Structure 1
Amino acid sequence: MPAVISAAGLARTFTTQRGPVEAVRGIDLTVHEGEILGFLGPNGAGKTTTLRMLTTLLKPTGGTATVAGHDLATDPVGVRRASGYVAQSGGVDPQISVREELVTQGRMYRLGKSEALARAGELARDLDLTDLLDRPCGALSGGQRRRLDIAMALTHRPRVLFLDEPTTGLDPGSRADLWDLVRRLRDEHGTTVFLTTHYLDEADALADRLVVVDQGTVAAEGTPGALKLRYGGSLDATLQDTFLAITGRRPAPADAAPVAV
């Protein structure tokens, strides 16, 4: 399958009072059309920094990358048009209704009023939000709010959907519903999904392929089945073994200055 996301030596260095900190040291990455990629790693591994670079929210300080054929450096507008992004914290206005939020998002993508209303209804049907259209966003449950976040990210029909730890804080039922939604996006719409998560069961259940990162580099990659076969045991044990191996080569304290990743 063709590559929708491609990165070579993607890097980001932050300047701090203690000196430069390499949050991402050189990521080589390929994500294929219609694939769900699980992007895993311990806290501070560089997951969110990598995701923010791929969504043009943060400029790389090294390397190159393309998303849906658009170069991060030379065509960031093209990257944004081809991408949908759901941040960890979401971004809805609690004071307005679900319908108003979806229509506003459509208008921001330059849809006409009637087109934005129609798209809002379509998204509500696809993401089981129809009965909630007139409810204030602030009155939604955690699972409902995450579905709305994803609906907003899909307004412009992106080829790639970036999800940054989308099920954090959700109850088991809401997590299962969101897993089903992600699968449907891939199976019914061909959407490519780039998923960061801390939950190993989530990665095992959803991802077609996994990339494990630490200290800003790729430590392991492969399908969940291949990683289990390579290391033996469950995915939890596999990734624990990987993290244990990584822990033995932590950087010097100056390199380990806290950075929001």
Structure 2
Amino acid sequence: MSANALKTFNRCITCLARVGSELVFQASPSKLELHTLNASRSAYQSISFTPAFFDTYTVSSSPGSSDSSPDPLQCSVLLKAVLSVLRTPAASVDSLAVTLLSAEAAKIQFSLHCLHGLKKTYWITCNSEPEIQRLSLDRSNFPSSLVVRPKDLSRLLSNFQSSLHEITIIATEPANGPSDVIGDIGGKAVELRSYIDPAEDNNDAKLHTQLWIDPVEEFLQYSHRGNPVDVTFGVKEIKAFLAFCEGCEVDIHLFLRKLAS
């Protein structure tokens, strides 16, 4: 890969490294997927690339797989090792080549072709027992969804204390707000609030922030059906994804669903 594709790839690796410590490659003829999972197993991230993204993309079938449904080639490496490869300033790199010689290879090769004929080659050891994760979700089963610009979501999150680890988003229909404040919130159908662990001590001394949002004013799209849905998630991971989307100049599409306990 080269040019803008290389810059986008660097941005993807940076985003993934803010979520997890292990990077999983899964390659099939139709796409390349990068996965990571955080230590607490509360956040999973996957980024997919089509062959058209790369200057050259080739995948050979793994042993034992059929031609009709070949198994993806996969390996796992430490993200900090990949970050070390990408420390070379992008302005001095002409192209990057990533090669896995075989499905059983112990190392994956990264080759940086730099300006003035300089070439840097790195061999990164594949983890012997990788934790391969796959996540399949049917978006049609999510009762709430919204589309928001990254800069607008950043502005909304800036109202909360920087030390906050988790935040709760509550999606409702405008008429489903609390009866004692419905006159104040009007059409503000989405709420962001600080999540405070009830098991912790001195919660009364901590700063609690609640922010009611009018979807018409803040979101590009908003839909909700049924009962209110509240989801609590890590601030660190959402900010990493937000920075990635802002760098790629794309909007964020959030789907919300309360999982049964």
Q: For the superposition of Structure 1 and Structure 2, which TM-score range results when normalised by the shorter chain?
A: under 0.3
Higher RCO (Cα < 8 Å, 6 or more apart): 1
Which structure shows the higher helix fraction?
Answer: 1
Q: Give me the TM-score of the superposition, normalised by structure 1.
A: 0.19
Considering only CA atoms, is the larger Rg found in Structure 1 or Structure 2?
Answer: 2
Which structure shows the higher strand fraction?
Answer: 2
Q: Give me the TM-score of the superposition, normalised by structure 2.
A: 0.19
